[in-house]
Chain A
Amino acid sequence: MAEWLDPLLILALALNFGALGVSRIRAVVNVVAAQGILLGVLPLFLHGGIGIRGFLLVATTVGLKGFGIPALLLHAMREVEIRHEVNPVIGFMSSLLLGAVGTGLAIVFARTLPLAPEHANTLIVPASLATVWTGFLMLTLRRKAIMQVLGYLLLENGVFIFGLLALEATPFLVEVGVLLDLFTGVFVMGIIIHHISREFSSTSMDRLSELKE
């Protein structure tokens, strides 16, 4: 099954570009959800089998990343009836370009890293770095609060991809804890977005720069 790993990771990378390139927030949420499901099932394709523990983990990941969190976000959007455009700081093309450059650099850079032989030829590390990079791009180049939550999720996805390398070393409890934290985090963020839109009648971060020097 390991031969499926790299194609799936390429798909995840493509979803990164999707997240950067689409203009409607709902679409971005869907892209991130798709990536969540994709990443959730990745452990199944790793070297060696995974036990019952692994299946549980896959189920939780897919459930939270693919359905729970997107549902939360969509709910928050409905609640606050925000305008559904992404409203970027710089244009979509430029974002995509930056994302592409970052992904390319991640691939080149990952070659120089001292990886264990069994990981040297996979795309895990480049995909992880590229996704983290994309997450950062979303965080810094998008104005809407909800887009930043999505950026954060992408960042977290990147970390998750790297986690595949260390899966056997990471205890189940921790994995679940991480996911729970993530979920709670997004939950709280959702609540705050709700309050933001109520107080500011917009979730654009431009309004949220009262506190400054």
Chain B
Amino acid sequence: MLYLPIFVPLIAAAAAFFTKSNRVRPWIAVAGAAAHSAIVYRLLAFPAGGADLSALGGWLRLDAPGRIVLGFLSVLFLLCSTYAPGYLAMRPERDNRVFCANILVLSATTTWMVLSYHLGLMWVAMEATTLASAPLIYFNRNQRSIEATWKYLLIGSVGIALALLGSLFLSYAAIKGGVETSLLFDDLTRVASKLSAPWLRAAFVLTLIGYGTKMGLAPMHTWKPDAYGEAPGLVGTLLAGGVTSCAFLAILRVQRVCRAGVEAGFVRDILIFMGLFSMAVAAIFMVRQRDFKRMLAYSSVEHMGILAIGVGVGGPALYGALLHMINNGLTKGVLFLSAGNIHRAYGSKSTDQVSGALKRTPLSAALFLIGFLAITGSPPFGPFVSELTIVAAAFRRGEFVAGGLFLVLLAVVFIGMGGTVLAVVQGEPREDRPPNGFRDHFTTAAPIVVFAALVLLLGLYIPRTLESSLREAAAALDVKR
């Protein structure tokens, strides 16, 4: 059963790859994503008698955090793929064979990544995810996009190589500690207290840097503005919502092992430091950012920082962090896709050229504005709830300085981001940027509206099943000491 969500998208990818028609292919992607969602729904809605599903001798396993991420990923991929036909229809000159196939492959590798319950296997899946997403960034086939792809690939690969070193350190920590372990996460956590502390610590640092590179924590984030800036909005969403969530899941699993070892304070401090550092870097670069897609990339860096802080604080903040992962991903969907539409309509993504989007593409611009308000933590949208949960948890756990800095940085981010967003949506379109025929269309707007509706929903009402799964996942990741 667990193989299905991996292989079905792969089969669909093959089908897309061998389809001749540029028009039909996107619909195969939609079908693949729908099938994937159906399978995931089946997996989540009908759990096998309460126990986690597992396969391959426990190497593949759908645990509580995995269920959250997997469910979220399937929604993300489904919505993004429904955006694809409308988007690709506007780019008839481009061959979308690789694009459509790779979206499906990415869906498969991210699923694989989520299901991997073995330290090594997870690494392999993560690297596969990197490789699957690289061609997507190169969709535009110009100098800028190739530069972005190159940077994405090289920095990501170097980072992930460090994560491999970290994983090896972790296994060596077991050897040094004199314990036999299978490198399955449960086993590792069980024997964590016996692991050699210095190796465990180094392992944590390396895996954090490694998966942090994929997540986009500063200062490993440098590929992000380039990749997100040059990739189509659709790909930006998948990267900022999907791939980062996978990397986040990896960090969640590793930190649990390290926390269960002797280094809870160490893990907490480093994660909070990284989180705050990422937020600060993002904030600094967002101020007076002219390129609104790069700005979104920095926003992603910021939110990865928030996730890191949430995990660092631990306890009740874990719940907030998991919820925030979902909120951030969905809101990024709103932002990247609407920004993509605005980019299309103006042929530019710089505020020097773009203004008055509310007049040119009213729906996309309004959604962009809503996305901005949501992502900066304004009620009544989802991120508000999760951010407040994290802050409150930080205060509860006595992290007053971190909580305070968190809020200060949120304020700076708001100023930085707001300046750019408002410059884009308000005012009058420039005379020298005449309308190029792109208008809001049902196929390119409807998925964004759904994203926005979900973001609003999560700010007003969290379904009982989601709530209980989140609690379960937070409990599974938390380490009671």
Binding site for B on A (CB under 8 A): 113-116, 132, 139, 145, 148-149, 152, 155-156, 158-159, 162-163, 165-166, 168-171, 173-174, 177-178, 180-181, 184-185, 188-189, 192, 195-196, 199-200, 208-211, 213
Question: B196 at the A/B interface (Cβ < 8 Å)?
Answer: yes
Known: A177-B124, A178-B123. A115 touches B176 (CB 8 A): yes
Which residues in A have their C-beta under 8 angstroms from that of B150? Answer: 145, 189, 192, 196, 208
Interface of B is mostly: helix
Known: A155-B161, A210-B143, A211-B225. A114 touches B172 (CB 8 A): no
Interface of A is mostly: helix
Shortest Cβ gap from B223 to chain A (Å) = 10
Which residues in A have their C-beta under 8 angstroms from that of B44? Answer: none
**Which of B124, B146, B165 is the one whose CB lies under 8 Å from A159?**
B165
Bound Cα distance from A181 to B123, whole angstroms:
10
Shortest Cβ gap from A169 to chain B (Å) = 4
Least CB separation from A112: chain B residue: B198
Which residues in B have their C-beta under 8 angstroms from that of A173? Answer: 120-121
Bound Cα distance from A54 to B147, whole angstroms:
39
Question: B131 at the A/B interface (Cβ < 8 Å)?
Answer: yes
- Judging by beta carbons under 8 Å apart, are A114 and B183 in contact? no
**Which of B118, B130, B146, B176 is the one whose CB lies under 8 Å from A116?**
B176
A-B CB contact pairs (8 Å), 10 listed: A114-B199, A152-B154, A152-B157, A152-B158, A170-B120, A174-B124, A177-B121, A180-B124, A189-B150, A208-B150
Least CB separation from A117: chain B residue: B176
Bound Cα distance from A24 to B175, whole angstroms:
42
- B175-190 contacts to A, CB under 8 A, are 175-176, 181, 183
What 6 new A-B contacts, CB under 8 Å, besides A156-B161, A171-B118, A211-B230?
Answer: A114-B196, A139-B158, A166-B168, A188-B134, A192-B146, A210-B143
- Judging by beta carbons under 8 Å apart, are A199 and B131 in contact? no
**Which of A149, A166, A184 is the one whose CB lies under 8 Å from B172?**
A166
- Judging by beta carbons under 8 Å apart, are A181 and B128 in contact? yes
Bound Cα distance from A169 to B167, whole angstroms:
11
- Judging by beta carbons under 8 Å apart, are A185 and B124 in contact? no
- Judging by beta carbons under 8 Å apart, are B172 and A165 in contact? yes
Binding site for A on B (CB under 8 A): 118, 120-121, 123-124, 127-128, 130-131, 134-135, 138, 142-144, 146-151, 153-154, 157-158, 161, 164-165, 168-169, 171-172, 174-176, 181, 183, 196, 198-199, 225-226, 229-230, 285
Least CB separation from B206: chain A residue: A159
Known: A162-B165, A196-B146. A155 touches B158 (CB 8 A): yes
- Judging by beta carbons under 8 Å apart, are B226 and A211 in contact? yes
Bound Cα distance from A9 to B164, whole angstroms:
20
- Judging by beta carbons under 8 Å apart, are A178 and B124 in contact? yes
- Judging by beta carbons under 8 Å apart, are A195 and B138 in contact? yes
- Judging by beta carbons under 8 Å apart, are A152 and B143 in contact? no
- Judging by beta carbons under 8 Å apart, are A211 and B144 in contact? yes
Which residues in B have their C-beta under 8 angstroms from that of A148? Answer: 154
- Judging by beta carbons under 8 Å apart, are A188 and B131 in contact? yes
- Judging by beta carbons under 8 Å apart, are B131 and A181 in contact? yes
**Which of A155, A177, A210 is the one whose CB lies under 8 Å from B147?**
A210
Which residues in B have their C-beta under 8 angstroms from that of A114? Answer: 176, 196, 198-199
- Judging by beta carbons under 8 Å apart, are A159 and B168 in contact? yes
**Which of B157, B168, B196 is the one whose CB lies under 8 Å from A163?**
B168
**Which of B147, B158, B171 is the one whose CB lies under 8 Å from A169?**
B171
Which residues in B have their C-beta under 8 angstroms from that of A168? Answer: 175
Known: A114-B176, A177-B120. A188 touches B153 (CB 8 A): yes
Shortest Cβ gap from A90 to chain B (Å) = 20
Q: Name the 6 nearest CB pairs between A and B, nearest first.
A: A174-B120, A177-B124, A166-B171, A181-B127, A211-B226, A169-B171
Bound Cα distance from A196 to B138, whole angstroms:
11
Bound Cα distance from A211 to B226, whole angstroms:
6
- Judging by beta carbons under 8 Å apart, are B124 and A181 in contact? yes
B127, B128, B148, B165 interface centre (most CB from chain A within 10 Å): B165
**Which of A159, A165, A189 is the one whose CB lies under 8 Å from B164?**
A159
Shortest Cβ gap from B16 to chain A (Å) = 19
- Judging by beta carbons under 8 Å apart, are A195 and B146 in contact? yes
Which residues in A have their C-beta under 8 angstroms from that of B165? Answer: 132, 158-159, 162
Known: A169-B183, A195-B146, A211-B147. A185 touches B157 (CB 8 A): yes
Which residues in B have their C-beta under 8 angstroms from that of A170? Answer: 120, 168, 171, 183
Which residues in B have their C-beta under 8 angstroms from that of A166? Answer: 168, 171-172, 175
Bound Cα distance from A180 to B128, whole angstroms:
9
Bound Cα distance from A113 to B173, whole angstroms:
12
Which residues in B have their C-beta under 8 angstroms from that of A171? Answer: 118, 120, 183
Which residues in A have their C-beta under 8 angstroms from that of B199? Answer: 114
Known: A152-B158, A159-B161, A199-B142. A165 touches B198 (CB 8 A): no
Which residues in B have their C-beta under 8 angstroms from that of A149? Answer: 154
Bound Cα distance from A185 to B157, whole angstroms:
8
- Judging by beta carbons under 8 Å apart, are A184 and B146 in contact? no
Least CB separation from B202: chain A residue: A113
Bound Cα distance from A200 to B143, whole angstroms:
7
Which residues in B have their C-beta under 8 angstroms from that of A156? Answer: 161, 164
Shortest Cβ gap from B177 to chain A (Å) = 9
- Judging by beta carbons under 8 Å apart, are B131 and A185 in contact? yes
Shortest Cβ gap from B124 to chain A (Å) = 4
Shortest Cβ gap from A2 to chain B (Å) = 17
Which residues in A have their C-beta under 8 angstroms from that of B118? Answer: 171, 174
B134, B138, B147 interface centre (most CB from chain A within 10 Å): B147
Which residues in A have their C-beta under 8 angstroms from that of B171? Answer: 166, 169-170
Least CB separation from A185: chain B residue: B157
Shortest Cβ gap from B265 to chain A (Å) = 20
Shortest Cβ gap from A19 to chain B (Å) = 16
